[in-house]
Amino acid sequence: MTLLTGDEAVFDQFWKAILLIHGHYFSMSFADVYATQPSKYAAKQEKFLEEGIFENDDAIIIQKPPLPCWDVLPPPNCEIQIHCMLLQQAWTRITYSAELGMRRLLRIKGQTGGLNTDRFNGRNCHWYLTIKGIHHHGDNIAIGNDVTVPDRAVHICPIDLELSLCSYLNPMPVKYE
């Protein structure tokens, strides 16, 4: 797969999209493992202390497995190269090696209106939290009903909004209303 453009801003957008997809792939893969072996992980049902992230602020907070945590991912079976090319007087390319299993993530997102898992009756799994979420709950995983855009069937998560709008070098909380 190749994305061709003459717009220099494409590399930033491509990289942010890849980071979000990568995080959602970890979330989907962890949700698969957690749904079949919940007793393997330390988890608790509690109020998510950052308002506006999950409906009713209810979430399951799960302690992340110790690093490296590649064991939550399925065994790699095949990779596909995704290229982003900037075409001007010369060309520049960024390549990402995506696991073929990420197709399932995209299929689930299409079937659920944007969730990265279909394992928890409409609740979503988040491998990464917002800055405030990490401050309140530590660098843990959260499962909850995402806040949704009014009058739409698309699931919008303030966690993803913060990750995509803020630079990874200098993140800042995003107020979502």
pLDDT at 156: 64
Structure tokens at 21: 């997809």
% pLDDT > 70, the chain = 84
Q: What per-residue confidence (pLDDT) applies to 117? A: 96
The larger pLDDT score, comparing residue 77 to residue 86, is at: 86
One-letter amino acid at 99 equals E
How buried is residue 139: exposed, middle or buried, by Cβ count under 10 Å (0-12/13-18/19+)? Answer: exposed
pLDDT of residue 119: 97
* pTM of the complete model: 0.82
Q: Which of 66, 69, 57 is nearest to 137 (CA)?
A: 57
Please tell me the distance from the alpha carbon of residue 156 to that of residue 124, in angstroms, as a whole number.
11
Residue-level pLDDT at 150 = 61
Query: Three-state SS string across 94-162, please?
Result: EEEEEECCHHHHHHHHHHHCCCCCCCCCCCEEECCCCHHHHHHHCCCEEEECECECCCCCCECCHHHHH
| pLDDT for 61 beyond 80 | yes
Amino acid 93: pLDDT? 85
**Residue 162 confidence (pLDDT):** 81
Mean pLDDT of the chain: 83
pLDDT band of 169, cuts 50, 70, 90:
very low
